[in-house]
């Protein structure tokens, strides 16, 4: 591969990456790299929808308040207000670009999910929202001659010159490496659900963006907050398919092995409590009853369930389940990385020349827990903002490649041959450790044990020469898992998605602060903006 250069380099092509590309291409040439095919991303699998105030009885204040309530005291109010106010425009824009959202009597049909006080979730093809949003954004972005997409191109490290990010070192499927020099770089690499054994996330979600940026000095925040979705399919040998919360919004509910509804015993909002509360209710109920899973009962929805949730219907029938008759076995799984790279209202990270948008970022929108369907929305809003400022601000920077550029990779000395590392085996060990010790319920001594183990594995892997994406992903997973554990150990309270059985009482005022981590050292508490 030959070295390339561009105005804006976007690493990742989900909702955030392609929305950023559309905006950046108005003023710059753009390269988007995706490590798998152009469509493969968490965005593709999104079912429930996108949250936006579009109903007559709804208000921006209500969307703001629901977001703040889910965030449990750690949302940045300025971010929340910016995002909810921009939401209706971002949806209308998608409709203009050809998104076919579901309608009822000629109006957008709005559904409801946990934590929302109103019906405000726009969806497409029943439970196929992600596919529709991706198709629209890819079509729009690739219609511009200024946008070039490089699929199956893995970003290994960011390139730095004089404290500024100047692009990335990438690797193609054949192992060929090249440098992509960029005046601005935007990370849109999505989440890190793959650090857990049980996850709704696709294989691509290995936290590469957080890891790459952390290694060149970016500040990350609130990594302890990992959202667990209450309902993923739980059958031996089956993938942990997500079953959308909209199922409960439309009248389905959770029952235990005796067919009894149990969620109201644990939270007054029952099945429609925020997902951290529902996930904990399930885990607690399973511990009390000794059962392996609970069940979703869609029968109250009636025959409409098949047309409202066609993807779910198809998926269940593959496993021999009839959604009109059978109860679906479910269990919580890791779903969403709430923390990430600290960004401002334009998506700038703390490293010059580097932006971040979507799940990789900590924009301040979600606080300690994300409200359902606010994530695609965040990708649309911050993708646009990052694309716009990254292209506007790069005009003053030289196009020429800096001769002194380095990457974290080139600075490191790797001594051990790659053959001594069984990356697949270690990846499974990390996932298993994180699930057992850093899951829905956490305890100080178990977190410490997990951190020490991760440090041992990380130190070993950091000495091994790595030549392929599997190895790079393992390195990234280990770093991100370690950042999660360190922050979880530091936060000695229960708040949002982070539940400590040794501090079960709930949020404490002294911890109404973000957890910050950087190359400089340990975890620091930082007040809200």
Query: Known catalytic residues?
Result: 275
Would you call 523 helix, strand, or coil by DSSP? coil
- When CB distances are held under 5 to 8 angstroms depending on the partner's kind, the choice from ligand SIN, ligand FAD, none that residue 407 binds is none
Query: Does 111 interact with ligand SIN (rule: CB under 6 A)?
Result: no
For ligand FAD, the closer of residues 192 and 450 by Cβ is: 192
Query: Does 208 interact with ligand FAD (rule: CB under 6 A)?
Result: yes
Instruction: Give the one residue of 21, 33, 272, 328 binding ligand FAD; rule: CB under 6 A.
Output: 33
Do 182 and 163 contact (CB within 8 A), yes or no? no
Instruction: Give the one residue of 87, 211, 221, 372 binding ligand SIN; rule: CB under 6 A.
Output: 372
Environment class of 125 (CB within 10 Å of its CB; exposed 0-12, middle 13-18, buried 19+): middle
Burial pattern 287-309, b for ≥16 Cβ within 10 A else e, equals: eeeeeebbbbbbeebeeebbebb
Do β-strands 294-297 and 164-171 pair in parallel, antiparallel, or remain unpaired? Answer: unpaired
Query: Does 14 interact with ligand FAD (rule: CB under 6 A)?
Result: yes
Tell me how far apart the terminal alpha carbons of the chain are, to the nearest angstrom. Answer: 44
Task: Output the residue with the shortest Cβ distance to ligand FAD.
Answer: 14
Instruction: Give the one residue of 363, 373, 407, 497 binding ligand SIN; rule: CB under 6 A.
Output: 373
Beta strands in 36-118 (DSSP E): 50-51, 103-104, 107-108, 110-111
Site string for ligand FAD, 77-96 (x = CB under 6 A): --------------------
Query: Does 234 interact with ligand FAD (rule: CB under 6 A)?
Result: no
Q: How far is the CB of 133 from ligand SIN (least distance, A)?
A: 12
Q: How far is the CB of 412 from ligand SIN (least distance, A)?
A: 36
Match 């196009």 to its residue by tokens. Answer: 399
For ligand FAD, the closer of residues 132 and 256 by Cβ is: 132
Instruction: Give the one residue of 25, 41, 47, 343 binding ligand SIN; rule: CB under 6 A.
Output: 47
**Which residues lie closer than 8 Å to 519 by C-beta, 6 or more apart?**
214, 215, 217
Query: Does 187 interact with ligand FAD (rule: CB under 6 A)?
Result: no
Query: Does 42 interact with ligand FAD (rule: CB under 6 A)?
Result: yes
Query: Does 375 interact with ligand SIN (rule: CB under 6 A)?
Result: yes
Q: What angle do CA 505, 219, 441 make, to 5 degrees?
A: 25
Residue 370 is classified by DSSP as: P
Phi, psi of 166 (to 5 degrees): -125, 25
Q: How far is the CB of 170 from ligand FAD (least distance, A)?
A: 7
Q: How far is the CB of 61 from ligand FAD (least distance, A)?
A: 21
Phi, psi of 10 (to 5 degrees): -115, 120
- # chain residues binding ligand SIN, by CB under 6 A: 8
For ligand SIN, the closer of residues 305 and 433 by Cβ is: 305
Give the Cβ contact number of residue 509 at 10 Å.
8
For residue 178, the cross-strand partners are 170
Residues engaged in binding ligand SIN (CB under 6 A): 47-48, 244-246, 372-373, 375
Residues engaged in binding ligand FAD (CB under 6 A): 11-17, 33-36, 40-43, 45-50, 129-130, 154-155, 188-191, 200-201, 204, 208, 242, 336, 358-360, 373-376, 379
């Amino acid at each position: 591969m030959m070295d390339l250069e561009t105005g804006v380099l976007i690493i990742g092509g989900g909702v955030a990456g392609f929305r950023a590309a559309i905006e950046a291409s108005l003023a710059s040439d753009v390269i988007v790299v995706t490590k798998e095919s152009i469509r493969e991303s968490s965005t593709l699998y999104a079912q429930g929808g996108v949250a936006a105030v579009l109903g007559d009885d709804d208000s921006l204040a209500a969307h703001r308040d629901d977001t703040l309530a889910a965030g449990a005291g750690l949302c940045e109010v300025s971010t929340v207000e910016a995002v909810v106010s921009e939401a209706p425009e971002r949806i209308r824009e998608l409709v203009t670009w050809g998104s076919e959202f579901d309608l009822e009597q000629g109006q957008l049909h709005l559904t409801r999910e946990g934590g929302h006080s109103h019906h405000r979730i726009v969806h497409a093809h029943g439970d196929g929202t992600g596919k529709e949003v991706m198709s629209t954004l890819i079509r729009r972005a690739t219609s511009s001659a200024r946008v070039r997409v490089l699929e199956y191109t893995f970003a290994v490290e960011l390139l730095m010159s004089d404290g500024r990010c100047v692009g990335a070192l990438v690797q193609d499927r054949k192992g060929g490496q090249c440098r992509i020099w960029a005046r601005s770089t935007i990370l849109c690499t999505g989440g890190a659900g793959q650090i857990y054994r049980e996850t709704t996330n696709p294989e691509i979600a290995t936290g590469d963006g957080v890891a790459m940026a952390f290694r060149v000095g970016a500040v990350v925040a609130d990594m302890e907050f990992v959202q667990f979705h209450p309902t993923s399919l739980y059958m031996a040998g089956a993938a942990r398919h997500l079953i959308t919360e909209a199922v409960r919004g439309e009248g389905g509910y959770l029952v235990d092995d005796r067919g009894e509804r149990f969620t109201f015993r644990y939270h007054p909002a029952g099945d429609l409590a925020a997902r951290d509360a529902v996930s904990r209710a399930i885990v607690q109920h399973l511990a009390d009853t000794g059962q392996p899973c609970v069940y979703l009962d869609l029968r109250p929805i009636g025959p409409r369930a098949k047309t409202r949730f066609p993807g779910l219907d198809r998926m269940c029938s593959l496993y021999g389940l009839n959604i009109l008759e059978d109860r679906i076995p479910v269990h919580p799984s890791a779903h969403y990385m709430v923390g990430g790279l600290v960004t401002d209202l334009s998506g700038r990270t703390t490293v010059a020349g580097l932006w971040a948008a979507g799940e990789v970022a900590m924009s301040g929108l979600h606080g300690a827990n994300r409200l359902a369907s606010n994530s695609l929305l965040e990708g649309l809003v911050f993708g646009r903002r990052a694309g716009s400022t990254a292209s506007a601000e790069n005009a003053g920077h030289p196009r020429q490649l800096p001769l002194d550029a380095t990457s974290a990779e080139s600075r490191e000395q790797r001594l051990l041959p790659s053959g001594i590392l069984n990356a697949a085996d270690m990846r499974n060990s990390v996932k298993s450790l994180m699930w057992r010790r850093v899951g829905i319920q956490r305890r100080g001594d178990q977190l410490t044990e997990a951190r020490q183990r991760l440090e041992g594995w990380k130190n070993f892997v950091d000495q091994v020469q790595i030549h392929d994406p599997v190895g790079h992903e393992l390195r990234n997973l280990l770093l991100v898992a370690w950042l999660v554990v360190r922050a979880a150990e530091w936060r000695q309270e229960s708040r949002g998605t982070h539940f400590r059985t040794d501090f079960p009482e709930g949020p404490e005022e002294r911890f109404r602060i973000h957890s910050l981590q950087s190359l400089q050292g340990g975890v620091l508490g930082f007040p809200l903006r």
